[in-house]
Amino acid sequence: MRRGLIAWSKGELPEALFEQRVARAQAEMARDRLDALVVYTNCTRPAGAAWFTGFTPYWSEGVLVVPHRGRPQLAVALSKRVQDWIERVACVGDVISGPRFGLEAGRAIAEIAPGARIGVLELDDFPSGTAEELQSADPSAALVDATALVDRLRQPSDGAEIALTTRAGEIARRALAAIPRDVATDAAAIAAVDGCARREGAEDAFIAVAPDLLRDDRFVRAQGEPVRLGDAFALRATVAYKGHWVRVARTIVRDGSGDASIAAAFEELAGAATRLPGTGGFGNASTWLVEATTRSQPLESIAGSTLNGASRPPAGTVVTISMTLPIGGLPILVAGPALAGTSERAGALLVAPTFA
């Protein structure tokens, strides 16, 4: 669940921004002859609804309905008692609560357009029970996939997305900087990062650890008995701020002997970022991954060394890059948010993941 700070910061996400996004969506919907756009949301798939309204369900699920004109409506499985909370944290019109939220959403659409053509983000992945409810409200309505429409809206990223992703990256960077070099266990290191990120206003933070890079360079989630950290280890902070997600990684070699290698790895990361959306900058990496948040899943895997047939990172869009670089006999793990380039300008890291 989301249990960090959830509050609508109107300075960072003004109402006019959401109105503009909805208006752009409605123009695209008219082009695709859609009467409504439906976006599923739950606390693990909040990115679509959050882009339109700022709403992230801390728990449970719901759907956002963007009608062909007027304000978006939310139908959620959360109890009616939290409606006023939703209205405080989200830029949305009517909020409908109830366990059969799919049916409620379908009824709302049927009222404005009987026999509607309903565009659904990620129709194939839509929960079947909710799809059935949506359809049952108006059997004459047609559900069509609207993923391409949302892709058109969200690429390239707008200024607010870039600014808030940068802010999320800064929170993650400062949280990782809070790890003492002499920290003894994975649990102690994770606690330092997690607490710092939340105190800085993170909406959520997932901290993973590679406790001994000489044995295994994969990140895991620490649980149970604390594990003693090796001489070289790494932590990765996955942080959300106002619905914007990043990953930042930090490798630590206790005696400082790896500092030059770590600095070289940062250079590689920055170099790879300048070549995005091309993937030619990953030549020295043993593994690499590019993730983006353009649909309902935060940080969707877009391209990477182990992703056969995945797509190319979208130009002008905020992404997160993760790399493993074998330098000086050690795997150095680095990650940070970047803005993929366009024909006019090169890509760049949004946050320099250095921790001095």
Residues in the chain: 356
Nearest approach in angstroms of CB 81 to another protein is 4
| Residues 6 or more apart whose Cβ sits within 8 Å of residue 193 | 175, 176, 178, 179, 205, 207, 235, 237
Task: Name which position in 12, 24, 58, 107 contacts another protein (CB under 8 A).
Answer: 58
CB-wise, 81 or 139, nearer to another protein?
A: 81
Q: Is 230 in the site for another protein (CB under 8 A)?
A: no
Nearest approach in angstroms of CB 241 to another protein is 12
Residue located via tokens 């969506």:
25
Residue 89's alpha-carbon distances to 94, 175, 242, in angstroms, are 13, 25, 10
Task: Name which position in 298, 313, 316, 336 contacts another protein (CB under 8 A).
Answer: 298
Nearest approach in angstroms of CB 61 to another protein is 7
**CB of 118 within 8 A of CB of 143?**
yes
Q: Select from 29-37, 151-159, 291-299, 347-355 the region that touches another protein (CB under 8 A).
A: 291-299
Nearest approach in angstroms of CB 147 to another protein is 12
Q: Is 59 in the site for another protein (CB under 8 A)?
A: yes
Q: Is 207 in the site for another protein (CB under 8 A)?
A: yes
Q: Select from 39-47, 108-116, 273-281, 344-352 the region that touches another protein (CB under 8 A).
A: 39-47
- At residue 226, what is the residue type? P
Task: With CB under 8 A as the rule, give the number of residues binding another protein.
Answer: 67
**CB of 251 within 8 A of CB of 232?**
yes
Nearest approach in angstroms of CB 242 to another protein is 12
Nearest approach in angstroms of CB 207 to another protein is 7
**CB of 175 within 8 A of CB of 237?**
yes
Strand, coil or helix: 196? helix
Q: Is 1 in the site for another protein (CB under 8 A)?
A: yes
Task: Name which position in 10, 31, 80, 181 contacts another protein (CB under 8 A).
Answer: 80
Residue 140 is classified by DSSP as: T
CB-wise, 50 or 82, nearer to another protein?
A: 82
Task: Name which position in 129, 180, 256, 283 contacts another protein (CB under 8 A).
Answer: 129
Structure tokens at 253: 């070699």
Residue 111's alpha-carbon distances to 63, 144, 197, 240, in angstroms, are 17, 19, 44, 36
In what side-by-side order are the strands of the sheet with 73-76? 95-97, 73-76, 61-67, 36-42, 117-120, 142-145
Q: Is 310 in the site for another protein (CB under 8 A)?
A: yes
Beta 318-327 vs 232-241: how paired, if at all? unpaired
Task: Name which position in 131, 252, 262, 321 contacts another protein (CB under 8 A).
Answer: 131
Q: Is 294 in the site for another protein (CB under 8 A)?
A: no
Find the radius of gyration of the CA atoms of the chain: 21
Task: Name which position in 5, 17, 177, 327 contacts another protein (CB under 8 A).
Answer: 5
- At residue 213, what is the residue type? L
Nearest approach in angstroms of CB 9 to another protein is 9
Q: Is 212 in the site for another protein (CB under 8 A)?
A: no
Q: Is 226 in the site for another protein (CB under 8 A)?
A: yes
CA pair distance 289, 246, nearest whole angstrom: 13
Q: Residue 77, Cβ neighbours under 10 Å: how many?
A: 19
CB-wise, 29 or 299, nearer to another protein?
A: 299
285 has which bridge partners? none
CB-wise, 317 or 320, nearer to another protein?
A: 320
Q: Is 177 in the site for another protein (CB under 8 A)?
A: no
What is the number of alpha carbons within 13 Å of residue 241 lying toward its C-beta? 27
Which among 1, 4, 5, 10 has a CA at the least distance from the CA of 59? 1
**CB of 108 within 8 A of CB of 73?**
yes
Residue ranges binding another protein (CB under 8 A): 1-7, 42-45, 58-61, 79-82, 85, 123-131, 187-188, 190-192, 194-195, 198-199, 201, 206-208, 216, 218-226, 238, 247, 289, 291, 297-301, 304, 306-307, 309-310, 322
